Chains A and B, each alone.
Chain A
Amino acid sequence: MELLTPDIGLVAWSSVAFLLLLFLLKKFAWKPILSSLEERNTSIEEALAQAEKARKEIADLSARNEEILKEAKEERNNILREANKVKEQIVAEAKEKAQADAAKIMLEAKEDIEVQKKAVMADMKNAAASLAVEIAEKVLTRELNAKGEQESFINELASKATLN
């Protein structure tokens, strides 16, 4: 069969041509193409990894932001609470102090009053005593006068005697 017998000419030409094609394509086509595709693959992989990383970072960042916000809120609350507490404390302290002061002032006033009272009493006693002595003196000097006269005299003295 003619179809089944390989021609030497075509065998020779196709061997040479195919080997040449293999050599040229290997050197000038397959190597650059495959390395470019490889490069592209790695760059795509890298880009994807980077995108993933960036996404994670953004997620982290927002989580951190939220946390910071939460912390800030808490801190604000804390500060407010503390301020309130301090305020209350201050008010309470002020109240206490005012009460104490008031009490002290009252006490002092009382003491003063007492002292004054005592002084007045002493003065009154002295006055009464001196009045009595004076009256007694006058009485004694006018002893001999009528009894009636004596009594009006005493009354006169007594009304003259001013306490203070």
Chain B
Amino acid sequence: MKKFNIHLLVSLAFSAFTLLAFANTEEEHLGGEEVETVYHSEVEEVEHEFDAKEVIMHHIGDANEFHIAGDLSLPLPIILWEKGVGLKTFMSSSFHHGASAIDGYVMDHGVVKKVLGDFPAGHHEVEVHHGEVLFEGAHFETEGKSTLLASSSFYDFSITKNVFALLMSISILLLVFIGMARFYKKGNMVPKGIYSALEPLVLFIKEDIAIPNIGEKKYAKFLPYLLTVFFFILINNLLGLVPFFPGSANLTGNIALTFVLALLTMIITNINGTKTYWGHIFNPPVPMALKPLMIPIELIGTITKPFALMIRLFANISAGHILILSLLSLIFIFKSFMVAPVSIAFVLFMSTLELLVAFLQAYIFTLLSALFIGLALEEHH
């Protein structure tokens, strides 16, 4: 944890520094008016003006097609469930990168949206920009897919960029670790190749995370979860750092995924909670008068712990992606090659740091999961 704090300080200091540098150089190189146009480009819909925020948000967000290079995208299956209508499936390539509407659905900057109002079914040529659809001279509003926080008229179960990355990382993990199991089963004693890198990690999680936090007697039951979570987060963090296809998906920086992982930790923690654990929550060792105060606090505590897990992983990984993309955006904001060496140098530095963060966040998530499970398993005081 101390290491993590130091790292956090370093990265905070660094981001503060880059922000300052960014602000200074921006004022130096661009006149006030130009800054204005950059910031107002979104409002004025200047077609070819570079909008760093939009680019970055597009890159770290999810998309219904996997952009490879230029106009080339990997078409992905679109699976939609419309309330009261039912299932609709087709390939994302039918949208022609947003130029076509299909049965009232459009692709807005890579994301499927439903056109509101009286919009004809079938294939139509449209223009989509920031949620607005222009069709035969008429403007239409759109609505996004249902989320956990807000319900809309349809659910999007498509194989999105993130789902693609998810399935790919799972395939890699299965291949590697089942291969590793076979390798050991053949009677090999000494690991070879990639296995010699993975074995210390497996042993590290067993001996330095699971056993110290959960205890010698009970750790075995939770070890598979901890190992899976660690390697799942690690590989997705690393693949996310690869700047081109099939990497670059910001899966572990997506709150939906960190939500699922944190939820699993929360479920495992509470399912295995002992009498002592629940006793501590519903009958905390405080004076009677404080109990009405403490019990809600303890109850909230059971949620805030996994909530912190969710936010920590999401924020750290997303922040890394945003930082690297911001540094690269400088080149396009200044429209100058002179910035490129500086940007590249910083990006190189950040990428190295993010490599560390990739391991660190996987480690922290696993460590804290083990810690929470260990706390819930405590038998006595």
Contact = CB atoms under 8 A, between A and B. Distances in A.
Interface SS of chain B: helix
Interface in B244-272: 254-257, 259-261, 264
A18 B60 contact: no
B256 A6 contact: yes
Contacts of B204: none
Interface of B: 57, 60-62, 145-150, 155-160, 162-163, 166-167, 170, 173-174, 177-178, 180-182, 184-185, 189, 199, 202-203, 206, 223-225, 227-228, 232, 254-257, 259-261, 264, 318
Given A4-B255, A7-B147, A14 B166 contact: yes
Contacts of B150: 5
B321 to A, nearest CB: 11
A7 B318 contact: no
Given A5-B148, A8-B148, A25 B256 contact: no
Contacts of B184: 32-33, 36-37, 40
A interface: dominant SS: helix
B259 A11 contact: yes
Contacts of A31: 181, 224
A15 B182 CA distance: 27
B255 A5 contact: yes
A10 B185 contact: no
B260 A5 contact: no
Interface string A42-77: 010000000000000000000000000000000000
The number of chain A residues touching the other chain, given as a range, is 20 to 34
Question: Nearest 4 A-B pairs (CB), nearest first?
Answer: A36-B184, A29-B177, A10-B256, A6-B256
Interface of A: 2-15, 17-18, 20-22, 24-26, 28-34, 36-37, 40, 43
A54 B199 CA distance: 31
A133 to B, nearest CB: 132
Most chain A CB within 10 A, of B206, B255, B318, is at B255
